[in-house]
Structure 1
């Protein structure tokens, strides 16, 4: 691997992956297919990402429709609305990214299109992670210090935080695009590495905050001195955080930490890169499913109701009567 990457070069890593592994050969060593095993893995993951992305796009569009136009919003539903928006944007450009790789089999695709879809995907990913961390922190505060939370929380905190998250994520993505894609020479390399360090440090901080606030919330609820009822909103938040830690986090680990490390194992990248893409698609696709599943459970039974009612129940922050 070269010592430095521009954004365009990093994007081309995806296209160069099939060359990193040896071709599938017969026992006698002759190549009958001309297709590498890495090719097979890579394009299988691309097709799966495309299918998962379409499902997630529809699910998040439904959440956006109900929360945006048909339901009364509270502090946490504002966060969920913005999280669905970030997931929708991420899924849309992951679909675009997958289609570009499929079309490249037959046509030559300009690098600029890859660059744009890559930058917007990273922007949406950063937004989603920041919003999820804000949800977890605010929920933790509301449970651990309920009186202080109700008395001192500004009315429009959720909207202000989400606006700042979108702005800062966009700014960081544009700076990364400019420094790593258009600046040349030692100046561009220096700024690119600095931005990578900043982004990586921010991701690590968000991960620690997300994990720490979630653990503190669980300890407070289950081991605290006072009894705190578990509401549907709590279940929704915990499930969303757990799904992100298992499926969404590898995407950030690869693109912001491993992809620019010098002498990173190319053979491992052959499998880890497409795997992180499909796992991130699973993460964004799973969030609407979580909302509707949590909303459909009533007294340990699943009930069929309208999607709007299920979404309202998933946002419910009051204990249910038995």
Structure 2
């Protein structure tokens, strides 16, 4: 036996196996990218319907309508930028880095607005008289504007100092900005989880139980979807930014797909809660309006309180 021939055959076999592994991994990544684009396109349509209904077909808007409108806007823009970045990963395509900065901005905004929704709902349960009688009218608009501005500021600063390592930028300043952004995400997640858990305990475990309303279910399902699908993207992108390993590309594609599922699922949560236990087919406007109403979940045979009845009860409370 010629040892040179044996060594050459072994080397050729290893090279063939390596090429097969590389081709199979490339095929898996390509399939994930295609799924991301498909899910994102469907999510764009769903969020556009929510934006259209809230903006032009809801006459009496509450603070939660304003929050849902901003959340749907953040999800809509997030999916747009996710499609652009996914297309950028294909050969012969090259988009500016600004789209990644805007993607991070919309992600931070969505998380912050979802935390604000959960906190405001808990305050409305804990202090109902103050909330319905003395709460400032435009506080939801102010909060959403501040959250959009803060998210854009954090994303632009981090993208400016952390995008181009080859340009000999200040690495320490980049780490500081990344730490500030990660701290804000952790703070928002703690507020989101804490307020949602406190609201759940308040509704289910106290001696004087409150009726389970559609608004509770809508907020609870939206928070649950984010914790399962949206949170991994924040953990990977901001907290594990400095960790590089051989599975980083697969991890990035998976968390990107989960983040698309998060933005894709929110409109379907609204329409599912609004149409739950409703045997009659109704317009999407009425279904979305019912999902955001603070009315108990009842059967069709029982009378649901109208919006005017709820407002009259709140006035009597004041």
Please give the TM-score of this superposition, normalised by the length of structure 2: 0.84
8 Å CA contact retained: 2:202, 2:209: no
Q: CA separation in 2, counterparts of 1:186 and 1:151? A: 56
Q: CA separation in 1, counterparts of 2:135 and 2:62? A: 13
| Residue correspondence of structure 1 range 154-169 to structure 2 within 5 A | 154-169=136-151
Partner of residue 68, structure 1? 55
| Residue correspondence of structure 1 range 33-48 to structure 2 within 5 A | 35-48=22-35
The 10-residue stretch of structure 1 (249-258 or 172-181) with the greater mean CA deviation from structure 2: 172-181
Partner of residue 16, structure 2? 30
Give structure 2 stretches of 5+ with no counterpart.
1-11, 303-318
Please give the TM-score of this superposition, normalised by the length of structure 1: 0.83
Instruction: Give yes or no for the alignment of 1:55 onto 2:47.
Output: no
* Counterpart selection for 1:226 from 204, 208, 221: 208
Partner of residue 295, structure 1? 274
Q: CA separation in 2, counterparts of 1:38 and 1:241? A: 33
Give, in angstroms, the shift of residue 319 of structure 1.
2.5
| More relative contact order, 1 or 2 (CA 8 Å, 6+ apart) | 1
Over 3 Å counting, the alpha-carbon distance change for 1:184 and 1:41 in structure 2 is closer
Partner of residue 92, structure 1? 80
Partner of residue 173, structure 2? 191
Matched residue SS, 1:318: coil
8 Å CA contact retained: 1:49, 1:95: yes
Q: What RMSD in Å do the two structures reach over aligned CA positions?
A: 2.2
Greater Rg over alpha carbons, structure: 2
* Counterpart selection for 1:149 from 103, 118, 131: 131
Give, in angstroms, the shift of residue 120 of structure 1.
0.9
Partner of residue 318, structure 1? 295
Partner of residue 194, structure 2? 212
Give, in angstroms, the shift of residue 258 of structure 1.
0.7
Give, in angstroms, the shift of residue 37 of structure 1.
3.3
* Counterpart selection for 2:283 from 285, 299, 306: 306
Q: CA separation in 2, counterparts of 1:39 and 1:183? A: 27
Give, in angstroms, the shift of residue 302 of structure 1.
5.3
Aligned residues: 287
Deviations along 1:87-141, one digit per CA (max 9) or x if unpaired, are 0000011111122223x2xx1x34xx25122111111000100000000000011
Deviations along 1:167-214, one digit per CA (max 9) or x if unpaired, are 111111111121223698776212211010001111111111111100
Q: CA separation in 2, counterparts of 1:85 and 1:270? A: 28
* Counterpart selection for 1:256 from 224, 228, 238: 238
Q: CA separation in 1, counterparts of 2:36 and 2:165? A: 32
Give structure 1 stretches of 5+ with no counterpart.
1-25
